[in-house]
Amino acid sequence: MNGSGNDFGLDEITFTTVCSASESINVSLGTQANATIFDVDVLCETGNLVELNAVDQNGVWSGNGVVNTTNGLFSPSEAGPGLHEIQYEINSVCGATDTVLIEVIEEIETETSSLNELCVNENAITLQAIPGPGIWSGLGIINENDGVFNPAFAAIGENVILYAPNLFCASTIEHTIEVHQPAPLEFNETQEICFGEFVKLELEQGIFNSYQWSTNSKSSSILVSNSGDYLLQISDQNLCKQEIQFSVIDKDNCELITMPNVFSPNNDNINDLFIPIEYLYVSKSTIKIFDRWGTEIWSTDAIETGWDGTHFGENCTEGVYMWLIDFKTNKNVYKRLSGNVSLFR
């Protein structure tokens, strides 16, 4: 056997030293980010800023209405009415992205149609507004749900009333009601009157633009000759209405009847009639003349005409005669006067 061969019958085989090497790699399993955005309720365009939130933090927010991409602040007014797609992206090896639609609705304009001026002595009113229902507040509101405003519980001057509809995204509105104080009154509410007299009813001071009396007069004052109650409705420059009552009462002991104690019916035009010397404030009277034996010889309901000293057209003899007067007072009380008169010719 020679050195050129091998046991396997293979030629040209060369034996060399074999080198080996190895390397290790550490592989770690990362956690997948969760960018799921929490639901957002419908927003009003005039509402406050809303902070958007997602399951995992440290992402970036984008979209119409996002005013802070880091904190996720969303402005409804910046976005405006409509549907807005908002994106949240977490930039990492195992990052994630999510989107959400946010609805912004336009604010509903609130309107009132209530009075804006009242007088403090007027009745309570019910305020009106749309949309409704809602809550009313402010000085003078005595029922916040129904909007009942009583000027007696408000301030003299301007009162700011707020109305907040219960409807979502309806605006709150201010309504100003000015409450006026009626012009002050000074007047003599009670006056006395005698029969046949006139008394003037009027206001002593104050500026008013309309007058309405119970007598239908529209002047600032009236003259009356009868007792009773007289109503006056007035309106001042602020259209504040007031009603006042004047009372006119019959005065006691107004009546005055003075008869002479002598007369001479001789047709000389001097003291020819037995007639009252004073006859004041008498509404009704009757006089009767009697002779010295008590026989009635003359009577009349018109006492001011006077007795001419006759009886059935014949002259009465000289002498003393008795007279009797029945009369009615201002207060419808009947009284009687009597006396004697001497007849001379």
Q: Do 72 and 11 contact (CB within 8 A), yes or no?
A: no
Whole-number pLDDT of residue 339: 97
The number of angstroms, rounded, from the C-alpha of 256 to the middle of its chain's C-alpha atoms is 54
Whole-number pLDDT of residue 41: 95
**In Å, what is the CA distance from 324 to each residue of 249, 289, 291, 303, 315?**
29, 7, 12, 11, 20
Listed residue (138, 223, 118, 110) closest to 179, CA to CA: 118
Q: Quote the CATH superfamily of domain 190-250.
A: Immunoglobulins (2.60.40.10)
pLDDT digits (tens, 9 = 90+) for 227-265: 999 999 999 999 999 999 999 999 988 999 999 999 999
Whole-number pLDDT of residue 149: 97
Domains 111-180 and 190-250 fall in the same CATH topology: yes
pLDDT, block means (10 residues), the chain with 345 residues: 49 61 69 94 96 95 97 96 97 93 96 92 96 96 97 97 96 96 91 93 86 96 95 94 95 93 95 96 95 96 95 95 95 93 95
Whole-number pLDDT of residue 160: 97
CATH number of the domain at 256-343, please? 2.60.40
- Does domain 111-180 fall under CATH 2.60.40? My reply is yes
**In Å, what is the CA distance from 291 to each residue of 274, 318, 332?**
14, 11, 30
Q: Is the pTM of this model over 0.75?
A: no
Domain edges within the chain: 43-105, 111-180, 190-250, 256-343
Main-chain phi, psi angles of 77, to 5 degrees: -70, -35
Cβ atoms within 10 Å of 281's Cβ, excluding its own: 19
Whole-number pLDDT of residue 186: 87
285: exposed, middle or buried (Cβ count in 10 Å: 0-12, 13-18, 19+): buried
Listed residue (135, 176, 184) closest to 155, CA to CA: 176
